[in-house]
Amino acid sequence: MVENKRVLVTGGAGFIGSNLANSLAESNDVIALDNGYLGTPENLKDDVEFHDRSVVEDDLPTDVDVVFHLAALSSYAMHEENPTKGARVNIEGFVNVVEQARQDGCDTVVYASTSSIYGNRTEPSPVDMDVEVQTGYEASKLAREQYGEYFANHYDMNMAGMRFFSVYQGYGGAEAHKGEYANIIAQFADDLANGEAPVIYGDGTQTRDFTHVDDIVRGLEAAANHQLTGIYNLGTGESYNFNTVVEMLNAELRTDIEPEYVENPIPEDVYVHDTMADVTKMREATGWKPQISFEEGIERVCATYR
């Protein structure tokens, strides 16, 4: 556990960022920086210091011991709307924050990458496998990893890139503010609880390694505590298809609503159909492993509707 540190969390009022900031605030001085694009200070506890700022600005509050850099345009759709803006936020913003932190004496950065760059995989994806980018979003996150390697090699900084696998919490937590960008578990649960049919792209056989945000937070803290450098996966090593998700949500909510199947609007050559994490490297480096089973996660998501 990270303790007695001064910590900056960028994207700190967003879904994952606020969960992390609130957890860290129990034993650290925490600054959450967010421009409000997908976050809101309402997600944060009172003892988190909030700054309404952008990661591309100068004079950021980077005089800290540890930086958790989670700020990003975090989906394919966001990047395709404006690829230049996506690159500026995800790449320039990352370099800007890390460089300011380095100049202020910080040598430990944990940052968000993505599991999307593994493409379609029904087998666990190890961090050392060859990857290639298909989208602007993936390109921006891979560029982050390259710049992370630069800061580690050139300035001897601890730079840990974390590839997240399908993070969820449900609308009972900070994920509610993401709306249409929330994880499909949260969206499907809210639809069913309100008597509506969840909309599934394609036939529902696509799979995801669904990882509860509490396990992600524990992984991020472990990466900082062990001052890791390199690329690591945060996932469960299990996957479930969308049809199964709807079945389990129906059972937990005591509803019986069939999903609506529609044509996938995302081009087939860029749509990631299947994901699954190999977390061996993270487990061996820190002892971290996911603690929340998928069944327990579903129960937590649905509890807010009782």
For the chain, domains (ranges, CATH) are 6-168+210-237+276-286 (3.40.50.720), 174-206+239-274+294-303 (3.90.25.10)
Beta bridge partners of 52: 34
Q: Which residues contact 206 (CB under 8 A, 6 or more apart)?
A: 241, 242, 273, 274
Q: Assign 68 to helix, strand or coil.
A: strand
pLDDT in tens, the chain (306 residues): 788 999 999 999 999 999 999 999 999 999 999 999 989 999 999 999 999 999 999 999 999 999 999 999 988 888 888 999 999 999 999 999 999 999 999 999 999 999 999 999 999 999 999 999 999 999 999 999 999 999 999 999 999 999 999 999 999 989 999 988 899 999 999 999 999 999 999 999 999 999 999 999 999 999 999 999 999 999 999 999 999 999 999 999 999 999 999 999 988 888 999 999 999 999 999 999 999 999 999 999 999 998
**Catalytic annotation, pick one of 76, 111, 137, 147:** 137
Q: Give the Cβ contact number of residue 284 at 10 Å.
A: 9
Could you confirm whether 111 is annotated as catalytic? Answer: no
